[in-house]
Amino acid sequence: MRNIWTIAKREYDHYFASPIAYAVAFTIFLVLGIIFALNIFYYIQNSFQSFGSAPDVGPITGAFTFMLVLSVPALTMRLVSDEHRMGTMELMLTAPVRDSEFIIGKWLGGFLFILTLIVVSLVYPIILNNLVTPGIDQRVMLSAYLGLILISASFLSIGVGVSAVFSNQIASFFVTMIIFVFLWWLVGFPAGMVPVGGNVFSYLDMKTHFYDSLNIGVINLGDLVYYISLTALGLFTGTTAVEMRRWR
């Protein structure tokens, strides 16, 4: 446990010294800010029509997850690949650290960085809560943020897993991106087209576990299990990749 924390802390600190992390943070908050403002203008313009609906955090968390698809590959690409390239992998693999602790530490470092961005993004619901009477639906907010955190965890673990396989950062970036694109958009398409097994595809579809449930305030055990399994799978892949390098 202690080793995981030591490695995570180093990675977390490293993000604050790296331009990529600042670029990612800047882009995410720029996009979220624009969407937030547009969302509020929309409700102000239509307020007299009285929809019976109040604004909630859905557009913010929804946009955030989309931004994660684009930015997590950039945040995870160097995590393990760079250790291969610099040769420091030899240092890590001869230190008294388990391969799994190494991978989980890397993942945790990235996860804590995203978590920091998520915490900062709480300004939007706080502002929104002050704008709307009698305030926003707090349960929807909690559920949407829970979803956001789970998605971050699974994205980062996939990114770390891929990074452990490739010693080239660019390769890690693209392969991670392709997996995200596949799980986020492509895998859902065949669901309505194939005669049998359509529910398998829709189960694999990452976004249905979020937009159709957590983001609108519905917490299903199945969705939680899905994201946690995905995280575990990514970390397992990463650990196996490190172990296999030893045997090569």
Partner 1 sequence: MIKVTGLTKDYGARRAISNVSFDAEQGEIVGFLGPNGAGKTTTMRILAGYMPPTDGEALVAGYDVVSESLEVRKRVGYLPETVPLYTDMTVFDYLKFMAELRHLPNMEDRVDEAIEMVGLEDRAMGFIGNLSKGMRQRVGLAQALLHRPEVLILDEPTIGLDPSQVVDVRNLIRNIGKERTVLLSTHILSEAQNICDRVLIINKGRIVTEDTPENLQARLVGSERVILRVRGEADELTTLVGKVKGVENVELKPDGTIEFDFAPGKDLRPEVARTVIKEGYDLLELRPVGMSLEEIFLELTGADAKNK
Query: How far, in Å, CA of 96 to CA of 118, rounded?
Result: 33
- Residues 16-35 touching partner 1, rule: CB under 8 A, are 17
Tell me: does residue 246 bind partner 1 (CB under 8 A): yes
Cβ of residue 96: shortest distance to partner 1, in angstroms? 4
Judged by CB under 8 A, the stretch of 30-38, 91-99, 152-160, 227-235 that binds partner 1 is: 91-99
Q: Cis before residue 59, ω within 30 degrees of 0?
A: no
Is the Cβ of residue 17 or residue 221 nearer to partner 1 in the bound state?
17
Tell me: does residue 3 bind partner 1 (CB under 8 A): yes
3-state secondary structure of 166: coil
**What size, in residues, is the chain?**
248
Query: How far, in Å, CA of 13 to CA of 35, rounded?
Result: 30
Tell me: does residue 115 bind partner 1 (CB under 8 A): no
Tell me: does residue 100 bind partner 1 (CB under 8 A): no
- Residues 68-87 touching partner 1, rule: CB under 8 A, are 86-87
Query: How far, in Å, CA of 163 to CA of 158, rounded?
Result: 8
CA angle, 178 then 145 then 16, to 5°: 65
Contact residues toward partner 1 (CB under 8 A) are 2-3, 6-7, 10, 14, 17, 86-91, 93-98, 246-248
